[in-house]
Amino acid sequence: MPAQRAAFAVTVEDLRTLERITRHARTQLVRHVHERDLDVVDEASGHWLLLTMSERAGAARALGHDGIPMLVEETEAVRAVVLNLESYGGETMALAEGYELLDRITLLSQLPRPATCVGGVLTLPDETPEVDALSAAGPS
């Protein structure tokens, strides 16, 4: 039996924010670093994480779950994306959104639960207390 991994739930809005900052990070990498190796761009911009999270969002929706699973260790990937974006001269709004998302998921990562795989995609149990608890607070 594979080991369970610690995860927490994020919202669809969190995923949209991740999409905006990774898209901007990809653009900045290509423009300012002239990086043409898409594997390098995908890794540094966090695009790979967006693709993974999108798969999980589809599975969560199919299972009728509100929260989208994110592994605790993926918080560090978001941190790296935001720091890379800052070092490549990202726009102020994208950086603000990135740091706000990072603060939020860092807090959420303190409430991990065991995740399981369904059809090869990471899922969480239906109950998502962290999403409910923090969605009331909303973005600050």
Q: What is the pLDDT of residues 107-134, one digit of tens each?
A: 999 999 999 888 888 888 765 555 455 4
Torsion of CA 139, 26, 106, 132, to 10 degrees: 40
In a domain, 127, yes or no: yes
The domain total for the chain is: 1
pTM over the 0.85 mark: no
110 in a domain, yes or no? Answer: yes
Q: Are 106 and 51 in contact, with CB atoms under 8 Å apart?
A: no
Residue 34, in any domain of the structure: yes
pLDDT tens across 55-79, in order? 999 999 988 888 999 999 999 999 9
Residue 105 resides in a domain: yes
Residue 5, SS3? strand
Range of the domain at 85: 5-135
Residue 63 falls inside a structural domain: yes
Is 140 within a domain? Answer: no
Nearest to 18, CA basis, from 52, 67, 65: 52
Starting at the earlier edge strand, list the strands of the sheet with 121-123: 68-71, 5-10, 113-118, 121-123
